[in-house]
């Protein structure tokens, strides 16, 4: 295991940012720490990097106990949400920083910086100042800077959080490809489940300072360990006694199936290739109960000939992931 976090607790006053967290992150993988804001995931990342210290517990990196090591001795690369670029240095100087600190010979620094700028597609910007770059370019520069010192682990704190949606998606794909090329153990923090599902080999879900579940994206999606994980990893709706994903609700226009629950379509919204429905169930399921959300493909919706006010019968699809609905609504 590349990173071993054992029984780490961190308190800010009375607030537990991390409450007895233990987690092992495997070598060479791309791991996401996923959870809502304020859940403790960034704190965990900063403790791994040595930028914060844990109140108790230990951190080991590649078998070395790093708990008491200052950040500069841990050989980790850290990429900050707001890039933390060195504003007074050119792009090339930024990338060269770690190498120069290590007294690397000049020719070697030049060669490495050239390679890294090539890797992050910033070669033509080498002599610019960071203020002349776009957000995405700055973040790529920050990444090259972190990779320059050949870290044992690369840690990214909400790396794409400050970028707009399109750039974020591009960088996300690019990070995945980069990782396949460079193979450095990488941990990134995100609150965006889609980002985590798309990029990571493994996801650690953190909430309220505790690890909720660890697993591959498929495992988390298909076998959520808790109501929270299920809810956080995708949309969830309630159908009678169970909670399930909106696309796992089967819609029929006649009461054919056993256990089908009747309702009326109260909203119908087309978004691209999918159709989203809100179905209000009959009075016997409690008036004022939240309507059921359903997602269908556009062609499916068309074949059912659905419109506002259509009477429909809902069932959970065969093999759907369900968890019992909590009593309180």
Residue numbers of the site for other proteins (CB under 8 A)? 49-51, 70-72, 74-78, 80, 82, 84-88, 97-98, 101-102, 129, 131, 142, 145-146, 148-149
Q: At what angle do helices 106-119 and 91-101 cross, to 10 degrees?
A: 130
**Min separation Cβ 313 and other proteins, Å:** 56
**Min separation Cβ 38 and other proteins, Å:** 19
**Min separation Cβ 33 and other proteins, Å:** 17
**Bridge-partner residues for 69, per DSSP?**
none
DSSP character string of 182-231: H--EEEEEES-HHHHHHH-SEEEEEETTEEEEEE-HHHHHHS-SSHHHHH
* 3 or 146: CB nearest other proteins: 146
**CA-based nearest residue to 3, from 57, 46, 66:** 66
**Min separation Cβ 70 and other proteins, Å:** 7
Question: Which residues, other chains included, contact 290 with Cβ-Cβ below 8 Å and sequence gap of 6+?
Answer: 238, 329
In degrees, to the nearest 5, what angle opens at C-alpha 211 toward C-alphas 82 and 204? 60
**Min separation Cβ 104 and other proteins, Å:** 11
Q: How far apart are CA 10 and CA 58, in angstroms?
A: 11
* 15 or 308: CB nearest other proteins: 15
* 149 or 294: CB nearest other proteins: 149
Q: Where does residue 119 rank: exposed (0-12), middle (13-18), buried (19+ CB within 10 A)?
A: middle
**Min separation Cβ 145 and other proteins, Å:** 7
Q: How far apart are CA 229 and CA 226, in angstroms?
A: 5
* 106 or 311: CB nearest other proteins: 106
Are β-strands 202-207 and 30-34 bridged in parallel, bridged antiparallel, or unpaired? parallel
- Rg of the chain over Cα atoms, rounded to whole angstroms, equals 24
Contact between 277 and 267 (Cβ < 8 Å) = yes
What are residue 195's phi and psi, to 5 degrees?
-60, -45
**Min separation Cβ 49 and other proteins, Å:** 6
* 87 or 166: CB nearest other proteins: 87
* 127 or 290: CB nearest other proteins: 127
**Min separation Cβ 186 and other proteins, Å:** 15
Q: What DSSP state is assigned to residue 128?
A: S
DSSP character string of 43-93: HHHHHHHTSS--SEEEEEETTEE-TT--GGGS-EEEE-TT----TTS-HHH
* 50 or 263: CB nearest other proteins: 50
**Min separation Cβ 71 and other proteins, Å:** 4
Contact between 157 and 81 (Cβ < 8 Å) = yes
* 59 or 236: CB nearest other proteins: 59
* 72 or 299: CB nearest other proteins: 72
């Amino acid at each position: 295991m590349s990173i071993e976090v054992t029984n780490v607790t961190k308190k800010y006053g009375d607030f537990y940012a991390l409450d007895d967290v233990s987690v092992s992150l495997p070598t060479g993988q791309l791991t996401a720490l996923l959870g809502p804001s304020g859940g403790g995931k960034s704190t965990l990342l900063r403790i791994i990097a040595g930028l914060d210290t844990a109140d108790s517990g230990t951190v080991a990196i590649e078998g070395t106990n790093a708990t008491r090591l200052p950040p500069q001795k841990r050989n980790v690369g850290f990429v900050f949400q707001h890039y933390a670029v060195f504003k007074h240095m050119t792009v090339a100087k930024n990338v060269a920083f770690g190498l120069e600190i290590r007294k690397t010979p000049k020719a070697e620094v030049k060669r490495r910086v050239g390679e890294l700028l090539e890797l992050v597609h910033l070669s033509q910007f080498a002599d610019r100042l960071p203020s002349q770059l776009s957000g995405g370019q700055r973040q790529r520069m920050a990444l090259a800077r972190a990779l320059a010192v050949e870290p044992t682990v690369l840690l990214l704190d909400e790396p794409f959080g400050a970028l707009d949606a399109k750039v974020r998606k591009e960088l996300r794909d690019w990070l995945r490809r980069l990782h396949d090329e460079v193979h450095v153990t990488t941990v990134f923090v995100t609150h965006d489940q889609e980002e985590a599902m798309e990029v990571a080999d493994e996801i650690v879900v953190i909430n309220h300072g505790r690890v909720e579940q660890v697993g591959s994206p498929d495992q988390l999606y298909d076998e959520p360990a808790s109501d929270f994980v299920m809810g956080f990893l995708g949309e969830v709706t309630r159908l009678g006694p169970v909670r399930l994903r909106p696309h796992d609700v089967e819609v029929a226009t006649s009461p054919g199936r056993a256990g089908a629950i009747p309702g009326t379509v109260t909203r119908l919204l087309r978004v691209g290739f999918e159709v989203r429905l809100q179905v209000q169930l009959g009075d016997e399921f409690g008036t004022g109960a939240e309507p059921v959300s359903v997602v269908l493909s556009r062609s499916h919706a068309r074949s059912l000939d659905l419109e506002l006010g259509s009477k429909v019968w809902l069932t959970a699809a065969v093999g759907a992931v369900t968890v019992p609905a909590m009593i309180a609504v």
